[in-house]
Amino acid sequence: MAKELMAHVPDLVLHASKKVKHLPMVQHLKEYLWFLDISGFTALCEEFNRRNLGVDAFTKTLNDYLGHIEDAVLKLDGDIVEFAGDAVLVVWQATEEVAKEAIVKAVKCARQIQKQCHNWKTDIGVLLGVKVALAYGPISVSFVGNNALQHFSTSGQAVADANNTEKLCEKGSIVLHSEAWKLCPEKKGYLLKS
């Protein structure tokens, strides 16, 4: 049972939990951070509500879409840190040994998701799409709680940069913050926002 539950916990949290001696604890990392926002989410909610279809049908439709995104992220070694409504926060480990490889994987993943999930027609006819913002830099993962219940949250410059960059995205776009842009070996087809 524990192994099955661990599959639903971000690697970032699993690795840090081995180091937790006292709570609260803050872990400082330097990572590639990817912020994906689903376009059409509000229209999907409104259409399900208008048709009085219920939360189970809505959940199935949304999980089907998010499942494709999750599969692409996991195949390219991304770590899904948070699902928040219509947004997904993903990190790629960016230690010096794997930094260049990590940004290539993050960008490749964004391209695959755009190709696979752009103008995705749902079972009720609403089109979904994604906007992807990629940032690089320091993040902090804060752990709070006690032995019975623990919670984590992410913050830091890379989180703020990804969030701000996503606000500049349009449906179907992949936008790199300036710090990620500097490190990206392939710049063709991407937008730089700072």
pLDDT digits (tens, 9 = 90+) for 62-73: 999 999 999 999
Within a domain: 74: yes
CATH at residue 134: 3.30.70.1230
Q: What are phi and psi of 157, to 5 degrees?
A: -60, -40
Within a domain: 7: no
Within a domain: 10: no
Q: Are 163 and 177 in contact (CB under 8 A)?
A: no
Instruction: Identify the domain containing residue 115 by its residue range.
Output: 22-193
Within a domain: 3: no
Q: Are 113 and 172 in contact (CB under 8 A)?
A: no
Within a domain: 16: no
Within a domain: 119: yes
Instruction: Give how many domains the chain has, as a whole number.
Output: 1
- Mean of pLDDT over the chain: 86
What six digits make up the tokens of 6? 């661990």
| Mean pLDDT score, 171-186 | 86
The structure's pTM equals 0.85
